[in-house]
């Protein structure tokens, strides 16, 4: 009995010729498909709409439920539509959709591709940390110890409950000689603090403060702020009016600052893309955008979707920026190193 064997040669590069044959068959099938340009019109239109929303996000009005700010808060997530449309276009065998998906791809890369590169570097003579510790934090002492172990020179805390303040003070006392709590925000420093005072952000109670931190490299004005929370409601949309008014007041205070070196630490309940924070973002730089790696999303801690906690600087050079490990808060702590002088 004679057995016949079919041999398949492999090229020098290790590529099985059967793979190339399958690709050619697929391409031939697509070329011979009369509906390749007619199918997927809806997918193509979706790709165009996604691209237009990213390009013209600043023109989306805030007059109806602050829709513009809501869109800008989650703008980086529009990139999720790109692989989704791509896969559906391949399944539908739609050349029209495949070409159309290039548009949102290019727009997203232009807007956010730079955040994917690692811009962090060495050096920096001051490390700062900010953390919304959550008023309902079940372990304030443990949270404080984790922050102290980060090696930060300056730590800002937001959403401090009055009953928990002594716990934070005691837990941080061994690392930070100087501190001040103003209302629901506080600042701890290894270096002397002077000129400490609350900052009026038009709320009727204290949720922002300012202090001069006297470092060996010079004086720096450090602001700590917790802007009002925002909500997404079906009947009212994105409710952020109080936050927007407080952001304007904070921006005015920073603009009037007499020191040239300024650092803002806090929970701004908004992202750098949100136009409603322009009073602050127009005059300061985000350390994450300037010296971070990735988006640095900070909220919610269990599955971060947005960076609403910020470290921003003016007259100071960021060298690195990152998020710290999760604590018992619903926010992640964020950190940065900066170069003074």
What is the pLDDT confidence band of residue 14, given thresholds at 50, 70 and 90? low
What confidence tens digit (pLDDT) does each residue in 228-280 have?
Answer: 988 765 544 566 789 999 999 999 999 999 999 999 999 999 999 999 999 99
Looking at residues 10-19, what average pLDDT do you find?
55
What confidence tens digit (pLDDT) does each residue in 279-307 have?
Answer: 999 999 999 999 999 999 999 999 999 99
Predicted confidence (pLDDT) at residue 161 exceeds the cutoff of 90: yes
Q: pTM of the entire structure? A: 0.86
Predicted confidence (pLDDT) at residue 11 exceeds the cutoff of 90: no
Q: What is the pLDDT of residue 6?
A: 47
**Which two three-digit tokens encode residue 79?**
């990139």
How far, in Å, CA of 310 to CA of 281, rounded? Answer: 10
Predicted confidence (pLDDT) at residue 61 exceeds the cutoff of 60: yes
Q: What is the pLDDT of residue 121?
A: 86
Query: What is the average pLDDT score of the chain?
Result: 91
Predicted confidence (pLDDT) at residue 12 exceeds the cutoff of 70: no
How far, in Å, CA of 108 to CA of 75, rounded? Answer: 9
What confidence tens digit (pLDDT) does each residue in 171-229 have?
Answer: 999 999 999 999 999 999 999 999 999 999 999 999 999 999 999 999 999 999 999 98
Q: What is the pLDDT of residue 4?
A: 47
Half-sphere exposure of 83 (CA within 13 A, CB side): 3
Q: Give the homologous superfamily in CATH for domain 126-339.
A: Endonuclease/exonuclease/phosphatase (3.60.10.10)
- Domain positions in the chain: 17-116, 126-339
Contact criterion met (CB below 8 Å) for 149 and 177:
no
Q: What is the pLDDT of residue 253?
A: 98
Which bin fits 159, alpha (ψ -120 to 50), beta or left (φ > 0)?
Answer: left
What confidence tens digit (pLDDT) does each residue in 17-44 have?
Answer: 566 666 566 556 666 677 788 889 999 9
Contact criterion met (CB below 8 Å) for 180 and 211:
yes
Tokens 């893309």 identify what position? 273
How far, in Å, CA of 255 to CA of 279, rounded? Answer: 9
Instruction: Give every CB contact of residue 21 below 8 A, 6+ residues apart in sequence.
Output: none
Predicted confidence (pLDDT) at residue 160 exceeds the cutoff of 60: yes
Dihedral over Cα of 300, 313, 291, 78: its sign: positive
């Amino acid at each position: 009995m004679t057995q016949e064997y079919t041999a398949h040669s492999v090229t020098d590069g290790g590529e099985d010729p059967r793979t190339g044959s399958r690709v050619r068959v697929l391409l031939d099938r697509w070329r011979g498909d009369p509906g390749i340009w007619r199918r997927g019109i809806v997918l193509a239109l979706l790709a165009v709409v996604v691209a237009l929303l990213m390009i013209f996000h600043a023109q989306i009005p805030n007059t109806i439920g602050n829709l513009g700010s809501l869109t800008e808060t989650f703008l980086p997530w529009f990139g999720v539509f790109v692989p989704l449309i791509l896969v559906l276009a391949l399944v539908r065998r739609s050349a029209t959709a495949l070409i159309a998906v290039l548009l949102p791809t290019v727009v997203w890369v232009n807007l956010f591709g730079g955040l994917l590169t690692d811009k962090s570097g060495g050096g920096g003579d001051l490390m700062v940390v900010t953390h919304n510790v959550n008023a309902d934090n079940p372990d304030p002492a443990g949270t404080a110890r984790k922050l102290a172990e980060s090696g930060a020179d300056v730590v800002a805390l937001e959403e401090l409950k009055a009953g928990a303040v002594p716990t934070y003070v005691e837990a941080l006392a061994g690392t930070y000689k100087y501190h001040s709590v103003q209302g629901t925000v506080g600042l701890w420093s290894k270096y002397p603090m002077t000129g400490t005072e609350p900052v009026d952000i038009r709320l009727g109670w204290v949720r922002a403060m300012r202090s001069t931190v006297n470092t060996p490299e010079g004086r720096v004005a450090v602001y700590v702020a917790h802007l009002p929370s925002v909500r997404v409601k079906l009947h009212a949309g994105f409710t952020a009016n109080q936050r927007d008014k407080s952001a304007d007041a904070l921006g005015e205070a920073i603009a009037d600052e007499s020191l040239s070196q300024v650092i803002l630490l806090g929970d701004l309940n908004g992202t750098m893309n949100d136009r409603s924070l322009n009073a602050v973002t127009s005059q300061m730089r985000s350390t994450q955008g300037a010296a971070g790696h990735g988006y640095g999303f900070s909220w919610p801690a269990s599955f971060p979707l947005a960076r609403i906690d910020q470290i921003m600087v003016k007259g100071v050079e960021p060298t690195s920026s990152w998020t710290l490990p999760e604590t018992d808060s619903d926010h992640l702590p964020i950190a940065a190193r900066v170069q003074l002088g």
